[in-house]
A = this chain, B = another copy of it.
Amino acid sequence: MSKPLEMTERTRIRRKANRGTYDRDVVHDILDDAYVCHVGFVANGTPVVIPTAYVRDGDELYLHGSNSNHMLRALADGGDASVAVTLIDGLVLARTAFHHSVNYRSVVMFGRGRRVDALDEKQRVLTLLLERMVVGRSRACRLPNEHELLSTLVIGFPIVEASAKIRSGPPLPEEGDDAQLPYWAGVIPLLTTRGAPVEAS
Contact = CB atoms under 8 A, between A and B. Distances in A.
B108 A49 contact: yes
A194 B134 CA distance: 24
Contact of A97 (B40, B70, B141): B141
Contacts of A148: 96-98
A40 B51 contact: no
B51 A106 contact: yes
Interface in A81-109: 81-84, 86, 88, 90-91, 93-98, 100, 102, 104, 106, 108
A36 B104 contact: yes
A10 B46 contact: yes
Contact of A50 (B108, B129, B170, B188): B108
B38 A98 contact: no
Contacts of A69: 15
A1 interface: no
Instruction: Give me the 4 closest cross-chain CB pairs, A-B, nearest first.
Output: A189-B195, A40-B40, A40-B49, A38-B38
